[in-house]
Amino acid sequence: MAKERILVVDDEEDILKLIEYNLQKSGYRVICAVNAETALRIIRLNAPDLILLDLMLPDMDGLEVTRTLKGDEKLRGVPIIMITAKGGEADVVAGLELGADDYVTKPFSPRVLLARVRAVLRRNQGTPDEEAKPISIHDIVINPGRHEVLVKGKAVELTHTEFLILHLLARRPGWVFTRQHIIDAARGSAPVTDRSVDVHIVGLRKKIAPCGGCIETVRGVGYRMKEAG
């Protein structure tokens, strides 16, 4: 059974109880807070392994809570999944840019929420050695050690930046990466800007055809690798 501590911050009692029930059923230890002040006090006393953070709180905007945590050297490593209202696209972008790890939109499926929680926790526990392991998804095999990509068994030539972007997306299928996330991941290769990210994605899709459709555009947010299965 999982033993990670998860802090859930939401002022809607029904949603709080729903999340708490499903997390506890999956073996997680759950702490609840109905406002930002209580949440920050809990986090500073004993940082949890993950925070589920509603962006609409009565005393402080969830984005401000995220900004506060990511600005604290001791707490910036605590992963955050944002809980957003439907249509809160601007908030999603802002939260991801501030350093939040993922988001779910109300109303959400408990199964989807649990999948996101597991994925974020796995990522946070990852090691550099794991990042060097070959990845196989959607008939694409990526070998970071050899800087090699095979599509349906055939080698394809990618630029260094294209390889970095593909590897980033493939390591975390289903996760949405903003253009800024992609720029940060590609830092150290050729200069990358918001505009050039889109150009790199177009080129990458063409080169990995017929699997190019596995890289999905999330309108107004960024890009993600389609989940397998």
DSSP label at residue 213: G
The predicted pLDDT at position 97 comes to 80
Q: Which residues pair with 148 in a beta bridge?
A: 143
Alpha helices in the chain (DSSP H): 13-25, 36-45, 62-70, 89-98, 110-124, 128-131, 160-171, 179-185, 194-207
Look at strands 5-9 and 102-105 and give their pairing: unpaired
Phi, psi (degrees; rounded to nearest 5) at 30: -120, 135
The predicted pLDDT at position 1 comes to 45
Q: Which domains does the chain have, with CATH numbers?
A: 5-124 (3.40.50.2300), 129-225 (1.10.10.10)
The predicted pLDDT at position 51 comes to 96
Phi, psi (degrees; rounded to nearest 5) at 111: -65, -40
Q: Tokens at residue 133, please? A: 């392991």
Average pLDDT by consecutive 10-residue portion of the chain (229 residues)? Answer: 84 94 94 95 92 93 92 86 80 82 87 88 62 85 87 89 90 86 67 76 92 91 86
The predicted pLDDT at position 194 comes to 67
The pTM score is 0.62
Q: Which residues pair with 103 in a beta bridge?
A: 82
